[in-house]
Amino acid sequence: MNDGEFVKEIASKDEAFSQWYIDVVKKADLADYTMVKGCMVIKPYGYALWENMQQCLDKKIKATGHKNAYFPLFIPESLLTKEAEHVEGFAPEVAWVTHGGEQKLEERLAVRPTSEAIIGSLYSKWVHSWRDLPILINQWANIVRWEKVTRPFLRTTEFLWQEGHTAHKNQQEAEEETLKILLDVYKEYIEKDLAIPVLVGKKSSNEKFAGAVHTYTLEALMGDGKILQAGTSHNLGQNFAKAFDIRFLDENQEEQYAWTTSWGTSTRLVGGIIMVHGDERGLKMPPKVAPVQVVIIPILFDKTKQEVLKKARELETTLSEKFRVELDDRDAYTPGWKFNEWEMKGVPVRLEIGPRDMANSQVVAVRRDKGNKTTIKETELISTLEKWMEDIQNNLYMSAKVKLEENIRFAGQYSEFKEIMEEKLGFVKAYWCGSPKCEDQIKKDTKATIRCLAMEENDEKGKCIYCGKESSSLVYFGRAY
Amino acid sequence: MNDGEFVKEIASKDEAFSQWYIDVVKKADLADYTMVKGCMVIKPYGYALWENMQQCLDKKIKATGHKNAYFPLFIPESLLTKEAEHVEGFAPEVAWVTHGGEQKLEERLAVRPTSEAIIGSLYSKWVHSWRDLPILINQWANIVRWEKVTRPFLRTTEFLWQEGHTAHKNQQEAEEETLKILLDVYKEYIEKDLAIPVLVGKKSSNEKFAGAVHTYTLEALMGDGKILQAGTSHNLGQNFAKAFDIRFLDENQEEQYAWTTSWGTSTRLVGGIIMVHGDERGLKMPPKVAPVQVVIIPILFDKTKQEVLKKARELETTLSEKFRVELDDRDAYTPGWKFNEWEMKGVPVRLEIGPRDMANSQVVAVRRDKGNKTTIKETELISTLEKWMEDIQNNLYMSAKVKLEENIRFAGQYSEFKEIMEEKLGFVKAYWCGSPKCEDQIKKDTKATIRCLAMEENDEKGKCIYCGKESSSLVYFGRAY
C-alpha cells in the first residue's frame, strides 16, 4: 500500500476549503452522515474530543458556582409563544411533536430549540423570595432546529450543547453574570483549552438573541477567512421573567420581577477546532482536548517483532499515567500509512520505536505542529512530553492569534470595505452609525454582517462606513458561518 | 422554627410507601414536576447524583473496551418498522414529529424510544469485513416513551440512559458480550457503586426485549416488596443485522450477517437508590455516588461565631481534597433544621463544630446509617472518614442484601404463592413449565410476573406452580415497578 495514498484523498485546503472540511471530518473519523435529514452521528473519535471539551468547560462552569440540572426536551406550544420576540425568532426552526403513540396530542410540543421557555416556567415555581436568588443552573442537552442547509458540526438539525440559565435579584447582578460567563468562562475555555483566539463584544440588535436585551458574543476567524460565532451570553433583562412570571419579594418585602441571563456553546466548536488548526495533512488537536495526545507506532521487523512490541506496550503503560496514549499495533497497515492516519487525526505527538531505538534506549518523536523528527532519551521522555504538550498548546494558539491579528483590517471607505470582503475576508473594523438599515445594505452588498461591537473605549469619531454619518461606534464585520 | 417540622411533612414509609417516595423526591430536592405531561425536571441535587452514577458506570464501560458516540434523536418511520417484533413492541409508545418549522414532513420521525434501528442502519454502512468487528459503542442519551402512568425517575415520558450497541463476527462473541455487560459491568456497578443487591437471570420470552433472541436482566427488591428491573442486556442474534443489513466478509471471504447486542440502564436507578436505602427520615446516599459525602454544620453563638465559621471553612478546605464536602453556613436556619434537611438528603456523614469542639480540637460526627453522635479528634478526622465511607457503603449493601435474602421465598403450591403475593410480596421462587399461558394466568391472578429465570444449575425436577406439569426450570416471580 502506498504510504501517501491516505492523505491524497482529501481536497486542498487552500483551493477548496469547504470540501477539505468535509473530507477531514470523514477521514479523521469524527462524524458521519445519517439517513435522517440534517442529522449527523458523532463517531467515537469525535465524541471523545467532545467529552474532553465538555470536561474542560464543565469544570469552569462549576468553579463559578453553577450547578447542572436537566429539563424536559418538549416545550408545549402555549409556553413557547409567551415571549413574543422569542417565538418569532424560533418558530420557523421548530420540530413539532403532534402524536404520542396512536393518539393525536391536544397541544403540539416543540422539540426544544433552546430552553428559556421551559426553564422560565419552572423558575417561576421555584423563586419566591430574594433568598431564593440567584439561581445558577447549567444544562448539557441536545437541541433541534430545523435547518435548511446543514454541515457537520457547524449547522445540524440536532446538535449538542450546554445552556446556562440564571436568575438574579437586580439588573447589575445579571449583567455581571453575563460578562463573567463571557470573559471568565467562555473566553478562557475557547482560548486556553481549544487554542482559538476570539474577539468579544456586544451584538448589534439585528444579531442579538430573540428576546434578549443584549447579547455578548465570541467570534473566531476560520482558516478560510470566514467568521464563526463561538459562543454567546445573553442579558435577558426582565423580558423572560415577565413572560414567564418569575417574581420574588425583595429585602423590603416588595414584589419584583427577576433579572435573567442565558448562555450557550455547542458542538459547533468542534468545527472551529478543525477550521482554525487544520492543515493540508488534516487535523491538529490542541493537547488539552485531544482524544489521543501521544500515539506509539512500533517499527516491526520479523526478527525483533516480539521484543519491540513488548517495549511499545511498556511505554504505553508508563505514559498512560500522564497522557492519553494509544498504541497502534495493527498488523494490516504499514508504519507510513499509520503516520498519515494519525496526522490526519491530529494527534499532537507521534512516537516511533524500532529495534535500533531500543538498543539506544531512545524513541523517535514527531510533533504534529512541526513535523520534524527528534530522538528523545527514554529517561527524558515524560518530562519532554510534558513540556511539548504545553508548547504545542501555546504554539497552536499563537499561530492562530497571529493570523487573527493579520486579518483585522480597518476600512475607512466602503470601496475599501468591499475590496477586503471580495479578496481577503477576515474581520473589517469600521465605524457604524448604529442604523440597522446600513447594516442590512452592507449585508446585501457583501454578505458581511456585524459580528460584534468593539469593546474598547473609543474617544474619536469617524464616519459610518455605509452612510457617512458621524459616529464613535467601531464594529467588526465579517462573513459568518 | 420547630426542628422536627421539616421531616414530619413526609408520609410514613411503612404505611404509604408510594406517597413516601414522592415526598422524598420532592423534599430531598431531587426532581420536580413540569407542565409537560409525564416529564420531570431533574434538579441540581438529583442531577449531581446522576452525574456520579454516570461516572462510575462510564468508567466500567470504557474499561471493557467500549467507546462513546452519539446518534440522532430522530428515527424515520420506515427505519423503525424494519424489524417486525421491535416496531410492534415500541410503536404504541412513540412520540412522532410530523412538522419541521412550517412544513409537514414527508415521513414521520420517531423520537427515539431506543436506538437499535438508527444505529443498525449505520453499522450497516460501517461494517464490511471481519476486521471491522467487533464494534463496541455506548451512547448516553435522552429517550422518549409515551407512558400513560408516570412516576418521577421510575417511569417518565422522557428519561436519561446509556445504551450500548455492539456487533460481532459470531454468536459466541455476542453471547460473551451480553454476559460481560450483565455480570462485569452492570452487576458490579449496581451492587458495588449503588449498594443495591440484585438477582440476575434470563427473561422469559413474554418479558424479553422486542426483537431480541434473549434478554438478561438484573432485578432488585424495593422497600415495599415490589421489584425494580435495574438493567437489561440483550443478545439480538442476527435479527437486527438481517433487518438493517449488517453484513461482512469473514476470514474465508464468505458473506455473513453480524451478531449484535444491546444493553441499557437509566435514571430509573435513582428511584432504586431511594427505594432500597431510604427510611422514615428520607434518603440514604451510598457514599460512592453521594453528591455530598460530608456536610459541615457550624454551631454558632454570637460571641464565637467568627472563629467557629473560620474553623468550619478550614475544615471544608482540608476535607475537600478527599471528599465531596458542603459547608452549610446559612444564617436563616437553625442547626436542628439543617440536621433534618441533610438527613432527608441522605448525606452519609454530618459533622458539627461549635466552640467547645474547637477548644478540644475535635468535631462531633453523625453517620446517616447509624444516627448516634461520636466525637472525632481532628487529627484522626480524615482517616476516620475514609474508613466510614467504606463502612457505610458496605453497610447499606449488606442491609439490603439481608432484606433481599429474607424476601426470596420458595412456593410449591399456588395457594402459598398467592398468599405470599398478598401478604409479603418480595420474590417467589417456583417451578414453571415454560408456558406463556401459565405466566399470563399468574399475572392475572396476582399481578406477579416472571422477573427472571434462575441462573443456577438445577438437577431436580418440580411441578409448575400453576399447571402442575413437571419441569426443571426454577424462576423468580415478583410484582414489578
A330 plus A382 within the same structural domain? yes
Shortest Cα distance, chain B CAs vs residue A50, angstroms: 10
- For chain A, give the mean pLDDT: 96
Residue A288 domain-assigned (yes or no): no
CB contact under 8 A, B97 and A91: no
Closest to B218 (Cα-Cα) out of B261, B181, B193, B177: B181
Q: What is the pLDDT of residue B1?
A: 40
Task: For residue A352, count CB atoms less than 10 angstroms from its CB and return exposed for 0-12, middle for 13-18, buried for 19 or more.
Answer: buried
B43 to chain A: which residues are within 8 Å by CB?
69
Closest to A72 (Cα-Cα) out of A142, A136, A127: A142
ipTM above 0.85 for this complex: yes
Q: What is the pLDDT of residue A62?
A: 98
∠ CA A455-A460-A465 to the nearest 5 degrees? 80
B363 plus B422 within the same structural domain? no
DSSP conformation class of A49: H
B332 to chain A: which residues are within 8 Å by CB?
131
Helix, strand, coil tally for chain B in percent (to 5): 40, 30, 35
B179 plus B60 within the same structural domain? yes
Residue A174 banded pLDDT, cuts 50, 70, 90: very high
Paired sense of beta strands A294-298 and A349-353, if any: parallel
Which A-chain residues 311-340 have CB contacts (< 8 A) with chain B? Answer: 332
B415 plus B300 within the same structural domain? no
We report the CATH number of the domain holding residue A454 as 3.30.110.30
A105 plus A188 within the same structural domain? yes
Residue A402 domain-assigned (yes or no): no
Task: For residue A15, count CB atoms less than 10 angstroms from its CB and return exposed for 0-12, middle for 13-18, buried for 19 or more.
Answer: exposed
A182 plus A306 within the same structural domain? no
Read off the C-alpha cell for B15: 404505611
Shortest Cα distance, chain A CAs vs residue B391, angstroms: 29
Residue A1 banded pLDDT, cuts 50, 70, 90: very low
Write out residues in chain B with pLDDT < 50, as ranges: 1-4
Q: What is the pLDDT of residue A194?
A: 98
Shortest Cα distance, chain B CAs vs residue A434, angstroms: 32
Which is it for the CA torsion B402, B406, B409, B415, positive or negative?
A: negative
Q: What is the pLDDT of residue B5?
A: 56
Residue A7 banded pLDDT, cuts 50, 70, 90: low
What is the pLDDT averaged over residues A136-152? 96
Shortest Cα distance, chain B CAs vs residue A349, angstroms: 22
What distance in Å separates the CA atoms of residue A417 and residue A410, rounded to the nearest whole number?
A: 8
Q: What is the pLDDT of residue A86?
A: 85
Residue A95 at interface with chain B, using a CB cutoff of 8 Å: yes
Residue B34 at interface with chain A, using a CB cutoff of 8 Å: yes
Which of B277, B309, B324 lies at the terminal end of a domain, its last residue? B277
B215 plus B362 within the same structural domain? no
A134 prior amide bond cis, ω within 30: yes
Q: What is the pLDDT of residue B86?
A: 85
A90 plus A16 within the same structural domain? yes
A345 plus A229 within the same structural domain? no
* Residue A77: closest C-alpha in chain B: B36
* Percent of chain A at pLDDT exceeding 70: 98
Q: What is the pLDDT of residue B245?
A: 97
Residue A456 confidence (pLDDT) above 50: yes
We report the CATH number of the domain holding residue B212 as 3.30.930.10
Find which of A96, A150, A270 to mutate to test the B interface (most B CBs within 10 Å of its CB). Answer: A96
Q: What is the pLDDT of residue B330?
A: 94
Residue A132 at interface with chain B, using a CB cutoff of 8 Å: no
We report the CATH number of the domain holding residue A381 as 3.40.50.800
B308 plus B261 within the same structural domain? no
Hey, what's the torsion of the CAs at A122, A125, A129, A133, to 10 degrees? -10
B29 plus B177 within the same structural domain? yes
CB contact under 8 A, B121 and A34: yes
Residue A332 confidence (pLDDT) above 90: no
Residue A158 banded pLDDT, cuts 50, 70, 90: very high
Q: What is the pLDDT of residue B420?
A: 98
Shortest Cα distance, chain B CAs vs residue A219, angstroms: 27
| pLDDT tens track for A59-114 | 999 999 999 999 999 999 999 999 888 888 898 999 999 999 989 999 999 999 99
Q: How many domains does chain B have?
A: 3
Residue B288 domain-assigned (yes or no): no
Which A-chain residues 273-312 have CB contacts (< 8 A) with chain B? Answer: none
Residue A94 at interface with chain B, using a CB cutoff of 8 Å: yes
Q: What is the pLDDT of residue A457?
A: 80
B67 plus B13 within the same structural domain? yes
Residue A305 domain-assigned (yes or no): yes
Residue B444 domain-assigned (yes or no): yes
What is the pLDDT averaged over residues A310-320? 97
The residue segments making up the domain with residue B31 are 5-74+89-94+113-277
Cβ–Cβ < 8 Å for B69, A41? yes
DSSP conformation class of B1: -
* Percent of chain A at pLDDT exceeding 90: 93
Residue B67 domain-assigned (yes or no): yes
A102 to chain B: which residues are within 8 Å by CB?
92
Residue B34 domain-assigned (yes or no): yes
Residue B402 at interface with chain A, using a CB cutoff of 8 Å: no
Residue B383 at interface with chain A, using a CB cutoff of 8 Å: no
Name the β-bridge partners of B250. none
Residue A118 confidence (pLDDT) above 70: yes
